[in-house]
Amino acid sequence: MTVKHVIDEGLLRRFDIPGPRYTSYPTADRFVEAFGERDYIQALQQRRAGSLALPLSVYVHIPFCASLCYYCACNKIVTRHHERAAEYLRYLGLELELQTRHLGRGQRVSQLHLGGGTPTFFSDDELSDLMALLRRHFELVPGGEYSIEIDPRTVTPQRLAHLQRLGFNRLSFGVQDFDPMVQRAVHRIQPAEQVFALVQAARELGFESLNVDLIYGLPRQTPESLRRTLEQVAQLRPDRLALYAYAHLPARFKPQRRIVAAELPSAADKLGMLALALDMLSAAGYDYIGMDHFALPDDALAVAKRQGRLHRNFQGYSTQPDCDLVALGVSAIGRIGATYSQNAKTLEDYYDALDQGRLPIVRGLALTRDDLLRRSVIMAIMCHGLVDYESIGLAYLVDFRHYFARELEQLRELQQHGLVRLHETHLEVTPTGWYLVRAIAMVFDRYLQVDQDRARFSKII
């Protein structure tokens, strides 16, 4: 069965609306400045006092990049002054000291992710120092997932070997597209041969899982050029694959103003690219995990989805249990207990807070009972494609069908379009609905239902 038989262009167009990616609920745009350092410290202390705390997840944001990619919407600082890394590393050490002062040293960590920016902007020695810092403050447990984002232009096989010695067991390669014309249009030149050599080296070193990031809808990209890239990816055969839709929002992200809008593919071509990619990745043996993620059947992510153990956090889909996340670095977003928090978004503000001996928390949110309830429903949709009314009702002491009567009524339209099935005891996402799962989750987003200004979000497709 081809993808065209599963999902049609008219349906994609109808539901291709702006909406959140739901790496959290409520989403980060709902954070408030009234939530500050004192609230965060209280959450840390409550975790410390708990006796059954699960292992932590830790995220470290490294914002520096040596060159600018025009499509980028990340919080980054483009610089060729590598001495700035040493200063940033010192402040990460100060933040770690403050975090563990309230959290307690030696907390167990089962998931670590270094993102950016370009984490490999740090030199080998600086990465060694960072990992030593983390190990002084946390216990990285055996069998955990320890990953780092890789810009292929900044590493060699020797650097990959160093990363493995430091304890990283998962790598994510930023590829985006192999076509030279597309690479020039987005200012990111990296020959396919370079990526193939690095992936081969990583396999020989024994990394547990290799991920490749791709983007469709880039300037100068065509269905035919994307086909060639996907053929190369099928040969590369990463364990996991992320296929993101490019969201052109130049008013929000200044680097995107360098992209020539006339060179962007048409809406019809972009939809065609998605259908093509879904078809080709399926034919290449990849399981569809959800939204924009794919994995080979024996990868831990695919196994977790089949077994109903899939979770979702600020880094996307995960096999790790739903757990607290300590976020380090400028702009990093964390979750402790029933709270979310975000660090200062500029280096100046981040450094200034730490110089004053304060955690650099500038905004966040304490979740209400309704937030927690809706989060459970949305994450069940995003991860499992199934919501059991009774289990949610028992967990939150509500009558699900009564509490969500309006939402269930809204879902009837989606049911008519074949995206969901509504049963007496549960709702389930259909195979077609998985491709538009964000639209289904949005029905349960209380904030979004009363806020029609959705332009700040990327479109679903």
**Known binding-site positions for [4Fe-4S] cluster:** 65, 69, 72
Helix (H, G, I), strand (E, B) or coil at 15: helix
Contact 405, 425 (CB under 8 A): no
Please state the length of the chain.
Answer: 461
Cis peptide before 36, with omega less than 30 degrees from 0? no
From the annotation, which residues make up the binding site for S-adenosyl-L-methionine?
Answer: 59, 71-73, 116-118, 149, 176, 188, 213, 247, 333
Which helix or strand (DSSP H or E) is residue 422 part of? strand 420-422
- Sheet harboring 386-388: ordered strands across? 386-388, 426-429, 420-422
CA distance 205 to 134: 23
Which residue positions form the known binding site? Answer: 59, 65, 69, 71-73, 116-118, 149, 176, 188, 213, 247, 333
Alpha-carbon 257 to chain mean position = 24
| Residue 9 exposed, middle or buried by CB count within 10 Å (0-12, 13-18, 19+) | middle
Q: Coil, strand, or helix at residue 148?
A: strand
Exposed, middle or buried: residue 440 (CB in 10 Å: 0-12, 13-18, 19+)? buried
Helix (H/G/I), strand (E/B), else coil: 320: coil
Residue type, 449: Q
CB 163 within 8 A of CB 204: no
CB within 8 Å of 32: residues ≥ 6 apart:
363, 364, 365
Q: Could you tell me if 65 and 76 are in contact, meaning their C-beta atoms sit under 8 angstroms apart?
A: yes
Name residue, tokens 């600086």. Answer: 126
Q: Which residues contact 428 (CB under 8 A, 6 or more apart)?
A: 385, 386, 387, 420, 421
